[in-house]
Structure 1
Amino acid sequence: MIYVVLFFTLFSFFLYVLLGGADFGAGIVELFSSRENKKINRDTIYRVMGPIWEANHIWLIILIVILWIAFPVYFNIIIIYLHVPLTLVLLGITMRGVAFIFRHYDAVVDQSQNWYNWMFRISSFITPVFLGMSFAALIGGEIVMTEDYSNYSFYQIFMAPWLNIFGLLVGLFYAALCAFMASTLLIGESDGEVRKMYSRKSKIYTVLLVFIGFVLIAYGYVNEVEFIKDFIFNPTSVLSILISAVLLFPLWKAIKKENKVASRYLAGAQVMLVIFAALYAHFPYVIITSGKEVSLLAETAPDSVIQVLGISLIIGGAIILPGLFHLMRSFKMIKVFDRDNQIFKK
């Protein structure tokens, strides 16, 4: 049953990166749009993201609950040593949710709408950056695990592991990934000149994503970040990245042709390959501290707890996944089954 729990852990992580990332990315695309295009982006986001934006955070909640119940040692390290960036993430999600609602449904339309707009855009950008910095802290080898906090400063224990250049690069990489996913998704949710605009943005964010990824790997290798070195010299991870690189050509073609279906699913494949390459290189030792590596499978919950959790996840998945599919299909976010859309046609 532990493999069932592991599957749902990784599956929830992937869906949050993909769907939650596209949600954050919509705000990033709006933030870095011209003044004329900001209103177009805002209206498109409400039409497309509005019906499902709350559902995206289900996967984050499921992931946290699984870690809390099944992998208490892992959860304990995250909550203690990353409480600062994770608090900022929660504040960003809250600010974003408040702004999303009030800038659209506020009964009074006045100057406060501008504040809501900027709150939404900025929180959409900084939240994935802090999420990326939190992940960087887990793999950066800077976490100091100790029971005697008097020997270290607050900064050394709770700030230094994530507030560094490597953490910033990982945060910017995830923010660029979010913008890439959102702009590619919105190609299939618009028409005419607006679709051309999102096609241009998707090209820009594709190039930016590749550039930041290259800088991130180069920086990690030069500064001997263990996770990056293992990533570079792992044949399976390298193969995944090579496949991802090859898929850039059909993806670029699909974006250029403004293909509603192919661009979306090729982008999803890119994200899946990148996540697989990153996690496979060091799994299950996803936490690397200054003194040791911590396995996700170290000191798991008792078998009886894992058994109940696994059964609950299977039952919950059987209920939630069809509902999510129906929700996204109802609002035409899943294009592949539409008669008017074919993968190899515009």
Structure 2
Amino acid sequence: MSLEFAVAAALFAGVVCYAVLGGADFGSGFHDLTAGGARRGAPLRTLIDHSIGPVWEANHVWLIYVLVMWWTGFPQSFAAAMTTLYVPLVLALVGIVLRGASFAFRKYSETLWQAKLFGVVFATSSVLAPFFLGTIAGSLASGRVPEGGYGDPWSSWINPTSLFTGAISVGTCAFLAGTFLTADAARRGQEALAARLRVRSLVVGAATGVVVFAALIPIEHDAPTLWEGLMGRALPVVALSALGGVATLVMLWRGRFGPARVAAVVAVAAVMAGWGLGQYPWVLVDQVSIVEAAGARATLQGLLVAVGIAAVIVGPALAYLFYLTQSPEWNGEGPGGVKAVEGGSIRRGVSHWSGRLRGRP
């Protein structure tokens, strides 16, 4: 394995982690947006707050990791992408900032209209941000970012491949989040909410699958290099992603929510891996390869050392954080069991929203 490829692999590992962890985080906004009114949507919105509250900032650290690795390890391609795709990049950044701020502000709203306002901003931004991030991926994969940068700021991301990739990104995030939330609701003893989320996840998953297959038609003509890679070296991984998606739907249908989460993660990770293998060996498809885009050798070596140190120091801390959020105590399965949850955070959350309906702060 060459040094350049090792750094590119470390960079792409961050992309996969962001797609899985950040994707589930973004996808919760779709379910928040479609949860219903304040009274009907209160249990689901409370579950979303409880599920993503401790980890949403940690999930988006991966975006910083990816950008820093790309900027440092492959600087010329980074500059080319930034000067060409600045419109969707700015829109995605605005979405990420607005969703984070609104997610926090909604908890401290004193009136129902304030909570609704921040809720709409949070949910809408959670849908728009992954869409624009997906269009960026589609632009890179379809060869619309020139080597020297300063490509067309509109047609570079408003094209069939980019738009389909954006739509797939939104659907994948919503499907992943729905699967996670269904398992969380079932584990917390909220059978009615789990059943509701199960139906949502099945519908979203089926719809996303239809969009994925529909996208293959324009991609074949609009991004021939990517198509050739997907139908060649990446085909086994593409098949794995399809199997993972079908397995997730089957497990959701049968009520096996824990294994469904694992299958969903495999499906999304395989989708991302298929994109990477389909695009290989290009950083900017048909423009700049990994070897050509790589920075100085000393810089690449330093990056790998930094990644190794981060894996040793940050990796266990992140793993422990996710372990804690899945622990019985956090989910109300400790002393008092499910009743502790029903009499605790969820009831307080529902009462909080219901109180606003009656005009109480």
TM-score greater than 0.5 by the shorter chain: yes
The answer as to 2:35 corresponding to 1:12 is no
How far off its partner does 1:246 sit? 3.1
Contact 1:71 1:297 in 2 (8 A): no
| Equivalence for 1:284 | 281
Tell me if structure 2 keeps the 8 A contact 1:100–1:116.
yes
Number of the residue aligned with 1:326: 320
- The alpha carbon displacement at 1:228 in A equals 4.1
2:169 corresponding residue in structure 1 = 174
SS at match of 2:291: coil
- One-letter amino acid of the counterpart of residue 229, structure 1: W
Change (3 A) 1:25 1:310: same
Q: CA deviation at 1:5?
A: 2.5
- Residue identity in the other structure for 2:298: S
Aligned to 2:85: 82
1:271 equivalent in alignment to 2:271: no
Aligned equivalent of 1:183, options 178, 191, 213: 178
**1:126 paired residue among 125, 128, 132:** 128
**C-alpha offsets along residues 96-151 of structure 1, whole Å, 9 cap, x if unaligned?**
01110000123x2342221101101110111100001111111223335558x7xx
Is the 1:141–1:226 contact (alpha carbons within 8 Å) kept by the matching residues of 2? no
Deviation of 1:47 (Å): 0.5
Task: Give runs of aligned pairs for residues 208-223 of structure 1, distance below 5 A.
Answer: 208-221=207-220, 223=221
Which stretch shifts more, 293-302 or 274-283?
Answer: 293-302
In structure 2, how many angstroms separate the alpha carbons of the residues matched to 1:53 and 1:181? 15
Distance 1:146 1:324 in 2: 38
Query: What amino acid is aligned across from residue 169 of structure 1 in structure 2?
Result: F
1:343 corresponds to which residue? none
State the partner residue of 1:307. 301
SS at match of 2:69: helix
Aligned residue number for residue 39 of structure 1: 42
Q: How many residues align?
A: 323
Distance in 2 (CA, whole Å) between partners of 1:285 and 1:205 is 32
What per-residue deviation string (whole Å, max 9, x for no partner) do you get for residues 72-92 of structure 1? Answer: 122111111111110111100
Distance 2:28 2:268 in 1: 16
Whether 1:159 aligns to 2:154 is yes
- 1:327 to 1:146, Cα distance in 2 relative to 1, 3 A: closer
The correspondence of residues 246-265 of structure 1 with structure 2, limited to 5 A, is 246-265=243-262
1:248 positional shift: 4.0
Whether the 8 Å CA contact 1:89–1:130 is kept in 2: the answer is yes
Q: Does 1:229 align with 2:232?
A: no
> In structure 2, what is the equivalent of residue 200 of structure 1?
199
* Equivalent pair of 1:20/1:57 in contact (CA under 8 Å): yes
Q: C-alpha distance in 1, partners of 2:205/2:141?
A: 25
Q: CA 1:72 to 1:145, structure 2 compared with 1: closer, same or farther past 3 Å?
A: closer
2:104 is aligned, of 96, 101, 105, to: 101
- Give ranges in structure 2 of 5+ residues lacking alignment: 335-361
Q: Label 1:224 to 1:125 Cα distance change in 2 as closer, same or farther (>3 A).
A: closer
Kindly provide the CA deviation profile for residues 11-60 of structure 1, in whole angstroms up to 9, marking residues without a partner as x: 11101011001000000122233335432221111101000100011111
Contact map agreement 1:179 1:205 (CA 8 A) in 2: yes
Hey, what does 1:153 align to over in structure 2? Answer: none
Give the C-alpha shift of residue 260 in structure 1: 3.1
Q: Is it true that 1:239 corresponds to 2:230 in the alignment?
A: no
What does residue 357 of structure 2 align with?
A: none
Shift of 1:188: 1.5
In structure 2, the residue corresponding to 1:111 is in which secondary structure? helix
2:116 aligns with 114
Alignment-mate amino acid for residue 75 of structure 2: P
CA distance in 2, matches of 1:158, 1:55: 31
Distance 1:26 1:136, change over 3 A: same
Q: Secondary structure of 1:51's match? A: coil
Q: What do you get for the CA RMSD once the two structures are aligned?
A: 2.2
Contact 2:11 2:66 in 1 (8 A): yes
Residue 164 and residue 202 in structure 1: after superposition, are their counterparts in 2 closer, same or farther (change >3 A)? same
Could you say if the C-alpha distance between residues 231 and 210 of structure 1 is closer, same or farther in structure 2, counting changes exceeding 3 Å?
farther
Structure 2 Cα separation of the partners of residues 76 and 164 of structure 1? 21
Secondary structure class of the residue paired with 2:279: coil
- Give the drift of 1:209: 1.2
- Aligned amino acid, residue 40 of structure 1: P
Rounded to whole Å, the distance in 2 between the matches of 1:247 and 1:57 is 24
2:289 alignment counterpart: 295
Q: Distance in 2 between matches of 1:198 and 1:218?
A: 31
* Runs of at least 5 residues in structure 1 that lack an aligned partner in the other structure: 150-155, 341-346
- Report the secondary structure of 1:142's partner residue: coil
How far apart, CA to CA, are the structure 1 residues paired with 2:20 and 2:327?
13
